């Protein structure tokens, strides 16, 4: 059985919890009709926490990858990026060899046209799930090209279905995919990535004790 691709450290449980609540609170803030005392409390708490958090992270924010000994820890981006980064939507995926299927729901945070997902976030979403699919099969690499076809608006706040199919051509991985709302295809994608030998990747620095 092929081992999944891993490159980087797992996120902290607190980082996952923060991403979840930050995504939900940001979406609620976008729906407010006026100033809110509750949101004022959230803003004040974040403003108090910011300098304390800044004192706990390295001054150099480039990741400790390769021969770099200073900088921050690099988190594994092989899959489920939305579980620790609120800028990326959460999704569920099932990998079955060169095929993969799953679901995703975009909250208000990702709105573009009224009630619809912004096209740029759809591109980020497809890049992430294709990377997840490739990494689950032990192959990954840089995205070479990404083409989306916007067939119909992708609605917010509704479970959408996606499907991926990939082929391997030497050192190239090619994926086609769709994102649908029920029977209606909203977006099609074509993505090509390189296939890199994991053994040739630079080392990453593990999380430091007490850090």
What's the Cα-to-Cα distance from 204 to each of 39, 41, 102, 134, 208, rounded to whole Å?
A: 38, 38, 30, 20, 12
pLDDT of residue 57: 92
- The rounded distance, in Å, linking the Cα atoms of 123 and 15 is 24
pLDDT of 118 > 80? The answer is yes
pLDDT of residue 141: 81
Give Cα 125 distance to the centre of its chain. 7
- The rounded distance, in Å, linking the Cα atoms of 122 and 45 is 32
Per the prediction, the chain carries an average pLDDT of 94
162-197 pLDDT, tens digit per residue, is 999 999 988 899 999 999 999 999 999 999 999 887
Q: Percent of the chain scored above 90 by pLDDT?
A: 81
Structural domains of the chain, with CATH = 13-200 (3.10.129.10)
Q: Which one-letter DSSP state was computed for residue 196?
A: B
Within 57-139, where are the H helices?
Answer: 119-136
Q: What does pTM read for this prediction?
A: 0.92
- The rounded distance, in Å, linking the Cα atoms of 20 and 24 is 6
pLDDT of 1 > 70? The answer is no
pLDDT of residue 210: 57
């Amino acid at each position: 059985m092929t081992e999944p691709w891993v490159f980087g450290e797992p996120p902290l449980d607190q980082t996952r919890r923060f991403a979840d609540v930050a995504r939900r609170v940001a979406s609620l803030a976008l729906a407010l009709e006026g100033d809110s005392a509750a949101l004022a409390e959230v803003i004040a708490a974040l403003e108090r926490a910011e300098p304390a958090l800044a004192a706990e992270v390295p001054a150099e924010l480039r990741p400790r990858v390769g021969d770099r000994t200073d900088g921050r820890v690099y988190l594994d981006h092989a899959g489920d990026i939305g579980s620790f980064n609120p800028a990326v939507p959460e999704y569920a995926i099932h990998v079955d060899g060169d095929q993969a299927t799953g679901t995703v729901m975009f909250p208000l945070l990702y709105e573009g046209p009224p009630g619809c997902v912004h096209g740029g976030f759809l591109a980020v979403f497809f890049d992430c799930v294709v990377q997840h699919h490739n990494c689950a099969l032990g192959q990954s690499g840089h995205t070479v090209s990404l083409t989306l076809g916007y067939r119909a608006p992708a609605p917010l706040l509704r479970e959408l279905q996606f499907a991926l199919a990939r082929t391997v051509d030497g050192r190239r991985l090619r994926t086609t995919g769709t994102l649908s709302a029920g029977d209606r295809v909203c977006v099609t994608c074509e993505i090509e990535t390189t296939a890199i030998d994991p053994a040739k990747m630079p080392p990453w620095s593990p999380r430091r004790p007490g850090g």
